[in-house]
Amino acid sequence: MTPYVITGVDQQDADTHADTHADTQAGTHTDAPAGTHADAYADTQAGTHADAFDSYDDLPERLIGYPAVFHALGIGSSAVRTVLDYGCGPGKVATRVVEASDARVVAVDIAPRMLEIARTRRPHPRIDYRRSEDGGLGFLADGSLDAAMACFVFTTSGDIAALHDIAAEAHRVLRAGGRFAVLDANPRTAGIRFSTFRSGEPGRVYTKGERRRSRRELPGGGAPLELVDHHWPCQTYLDVLGKAGFTDLDVHEPVLTHQSAQLGSDPAEAGHPPFLVVSGVR
């Protein structure tokens, strides 16, 4: 799912904007029903924000994060024919699934502009882009999918109830034995500057659910995207998936296992895990 994006402002303004948004989000949506939060959230993704996010070069994610998710889910195996991409954003990950396998993907997001970008720039006969207006998956039958993933979704919400709702829906639509994987920036390496992004401020210790500013570099040396994320410790992911009914929970913190000239001669990704992957079985 696409994060809240701040573009075209200086650093001081970005801090103020981020804090104001997060305070508004907390004050308005803490007790709001899922639909209210989803609609308000989707509205923030309109216009240039979605386009700017789409332009981000997700190189570390491609080299480290997404392969770990695909491995956890068994993407490419004959047992995984249908995959849910919850919070698909502009469709980059869904596209990689169909390029890496023969699976069909149901790619879901709440942001209309993100789905417009996905359908326009990344159409594929095996990707079904769907909008969820309330964060739910009512258009999918119980036990109808083989695997599900939520990439950089949990970190966008400061509402623990919303995370439980997502996990519960993923559990409902998966068949018995199907796997669910959640990928996010690693809370243990908050503040470390990776090749294309930094999640959190250097040296700062974050508490559960706390706002965590992150930034992503854009191609061409333009102003970076300033994002408002939320800090969830690894135990939160385990608790959420466990409460939803997932078993055989697994935690993976992948690092760069082979040098890539694209990441430079001494990338932080080789010694510090930039991502956290938590998965479980339905």
pLDDT digits (tens, 9 = 90+) for 160-171: 999 999 999 999
pLDDT value for 259: 65
Cα-based angle 207, 1, 144 (whole degrees, multiple of 5): 115
Q: Which residue has the higher pLDDT, 260 or 10?
A: 260
Q: Provide the pLDDT confidence category of residue 179 given band limits of 50, 70 and 90.
A: very high
pLDDT recorded at residue 261: 59
Beta strand pairing call for 82-86 and 4-6? unpaired
How many Cα neighbours within 13 Å face the side chain of 272?
A: 17
Question: What is the predicted pLDDT for the residue at 52?
Answer: 84
Cα 88–chain centre separation: 8
Domain of residue 61 covers: 4-281
The two tokens of residue 260 are: 């890539």
Q: What is residue 263's DSSP assignment?
A: G
For residue range 234-265, what is the model confidence (pLDDT) as tens digits?
A: 999 999 999 999 999 999 999 998 766 577 67
Q: What are phi and psi of 51, to 5 degrees?
A: -65, -40
Query: What is the structure's pLDDT at 248?
Result: 99
Token reading at 87: 């919070």
147 beta partners: 83, 179
**What CA–CA distance (Å, rounded) separates 13 from 116?**
29
In the chain, which residue ranges form alpha helices assigned H by DSSP?
Answer: 11-29, 34-43, 48-55, 59-60, 66-73, 92-100, 112-121, 160-173, 234-244
Please answer whether residues 108 and 166 qualify as being in contact, where contact means their C-beta atoms are separated by less than 8 angstroms. no
Give the confidence band of 121 by pLDDT, cuts at 50, 70, 90: very high
Q: How many C-beta atoms lie closer than 10 Å to residue 258's C-beta? A: 6
Are 121 and 49 in contact by the 8 Å Cβ rule? The answer is no
Phi/psi for 244 (5° steps) reads -70, -15
User: Given this model, what pLDDT does residue 42 score?
Assistant: 39
Compute how many other C-beta atoms are within 10 angstroms of the C-beta atom of residue 264.
Answer: 12
> Which CATH number covers residue 159?
3.40.50.150
DSSP 8-state symbol, 219:
G
Confidence of residue 153 (pLDDT cuts 50, 70, 90): very high
Cα angle at 215 between 211 and 221, to 5 degrees? 165
Query: Cα(234)–Cα(251) distance, rounded to whole angstroms?
Result: 8
Total tally of structural domains belonging to the chain: 1
How is 113-156 classified by DSSP, letter by letter? HHHHHHHHHS--TTEEEEE-SSS--TTS-TT-EEEEEEES-GGG
For residue 242, the one-letter residue type is G
Name the least confident of 27-31, 84-88, 109-113, 239-243: 27-31
